[in-house]
Amino acid sequence: MRTLLSRCGIFFAFIAIALTSESLANTPLSRPDPLLIEYPEDEPPSWREIQLGKTLFFDPRLSHDHSRSCASCHNPELGFGDGLPLSPGSDGQPLGRHTPSIYNLAWGSVFFWDGRAATLEEQALMPIVAEAEMNLPMAVLQERLTAVAHYRNEFNAVYEEGLTEETIGRALASFMRAIVSDNSPFDRHLAGDKNALGPEAKRGLALFVGKGRCIECHSGANLTDDSFHNLGLGGDDPGRAEVVDAPHLRGAFKTPGLRNVTLSAPYMHDGSLPNLLSVLEFYNRGGGEGHNRSDLIQPLNLTQRDINDLLAFMGALESPILIKRPEIPR
């Protein structure tokens, strides 16, 4: 059974943080806590398992024509996105949704824009077999990997079961759980460094938890509620309603985390907003005009200085991760 690891057996959903004034105290903001990560079988992965997952993540063998890897869309040099509104699919046509960033998925509770995967292991395998994405049957992938001595040896060394569909998912998930951003200026501020944030970013933080109402959806260590909201962007995509029978969630998508958000433009589930300024202006005017918009989305009456300060705070969420690309085994 999978359990949640926590200090002294107690689960703290949020840590109350004393910020810079009484008005900001006790807000649901915290630093990522490695002791609150769920692992399969309650065991954190070994370094060898993480490295195996890393090699798989960058290996184009995972696509039907050897043309793309997981890293093709989740490029570490582009904030684990690809810089495109919509990535091209296996047929060269744009996919229906923007590539989400994958920072700090170790603390996630649901995955994909519509939340259709309940575990990171499930999520890791779905794009591989999806016809529109990597378009590779799992049986073919297992044959390909088994034909490579490096993979045979590593899977047998890491897993008692050897190379199976399940262990492929576990290896990929172990690497993705290791993609952790936790040393931004904001983190250092939460840890007590009074000089970590400049005056603009401090004002932006106050707006984030106050007038800007960002905290209503972007809370916790990863600045997401892992819930689903319709922003009024419109379009035909059913979003969460494609996964659950809930008409009120039609057009609703998962709140993305904001770690390294400055690195992952463009934004929204459809990639329709090119930069963070356009995102803040969108929220400031009360979102879009599409049907079924959430009641949470209301005009904010932010000034231009407010918007600039929020942009400064977004910059303080940046803590890039440098990853050396592995050598792909032959």
Backbone angles phi and psi of 102, in degrees to 5: -125, 25
Do 198 and 288 belong to one domain?
yes
Q: Which domain holds residue 208?
A: 186-315
From CA 264, how far away is CA 284, in angstroms rounded? 21
* Among candidate residues 177, 206, 234, the one where a domain is terminated: 177
Q: Answer positive or negative: Cα dihedral of 244, 246, 251, 256.
A: negative
Indicate which CATH number applies to the domain containing 245. Answer: 1.10.760.10
Backbone angles phi and psi of 284, in degrees to 5: -65, -35
* Among candidate residues 177, 198, 215, the one where a domain is terminated: 177
The pair of structure tokens assigned to 54 is 């890393």
Do 81 and 123 belong to one domain?
yes
Do 56 and 152 belong to one domain?
yes
Task: Give the Å distances, CA to CA, from 269 to 228, 256, 273, 289.
Answer: 12, 9, 10, 16
8 Å CB contact between 86 and 266 = no
In this structure, of 5-14, 35-44, 216-225, 235-244, the range with the lowest mean pLDDT score is: 5-14
Do 208 and 302 belong to one domain?
yes
Do 44 and 171 belong to one domain?
yes
> In this predicted structure, what is the pLDDT of residue 20?
40
* Among candidate residues 129, 144, 177, the one where a domain is terminated: 177
Task: Give the Å distances, CA to CA, from 2 to 103, 119, 241, 255, 277.
Answer: 22, 11, 27, 25, 41
Do 139 and 195 belong to one domain?
no
Q: Residue 10 — pLDDT band, cuts 50, 70, 90?
A: very low
In this structure, of 1-15, 48-62, 261-275, the range with the lowest mean pLDDT score is: 1-15
Mean pLDDT of the chain: 91
8 Å CB contact between 222 and 41 = no
The pair of structure tokens assigned to 322 is 């440098």
Does residue 210 form part of some domain? yes
Distance of CA 276 to the CA centre of its chain: 17
Q: Binding site residues for heme c, as ranges?
A: 70, 73-74, 214, 217-218
Do 99 and 137 belong to one domain?
yes
From CA 202, how far away is CA 132, in angstroms rounded? 43
Distance of CA 60 to the CA centre of its chain: 22
Does residue 80 form part of some domain? yes
Structural domain count, the chain: 2
Return the higher-pLDDT residue of 290 and 306. Answer: 306
Do 75 and 196 belong to one domain?
no
> In this predicted structure, what is the pLDDT of residue 38?
84
Does residue 323 form part of some domain? no
Task: Give the H/E segment covering residue 228.
Answer: strand 228-229
Does residue 231 form part of some domain? yes
Task: Give the H/E segment covering residue 174.
Answer: helix 165-177
Do 203 and 242 belong to one domain?
yes
Q: Answer positive or negative: Cα dihedral of 259, 265, 270, 272.
A: positive
Does residue 284 form part of some domain? yes
> In this predicted structure, what is the pLDDT of residue 27?
54
Q: Residue 287 — pLDDT band, cuts 50, 70, 90?
A: very high
Does residue 17 form part of some domain? no
Q: Mean of the pLDDT values across residues 94-101?
A: 95
Distance of CA 63 to the CA centre of its chain: 22
From CA 254, how far away is CA 307, in angstroms rounded? 23
Does residue 241 form part of some domain? yes
From CA 106, how far away is CA 123, in angstroms rounded? 12
Do 58 and 145 belong to one domain?
yes
Per-residue pLDDT tens digits for 294-330: 999 999 999 999 999 999 999 999 998 889 999 999 9
What amino acid positions are annotated as catalytic residues? 133
Beta bridge pairs of residue 94: 88
Task: Give the H/E segment covering residue 200.
Answer: helix 199-209
Does residue 288 form part of some domain? yes
Tell me the residue ranges of DSSP E strands in 103-195. Answer: none
Which residues neighbour 174 within 8 Å (Cβ) at sequence distance 6 or greater? 45, 49, 50, 52, 53
Do 169 and 48 belong to one domain?
yes
> pTM of the prediction?
0.89
Do 125 and 194 belong to one domain?
no
Which DSSP string corresponds to 132-161? TTT---HHHHHHHHHTSHHHHHHHHHH-TT
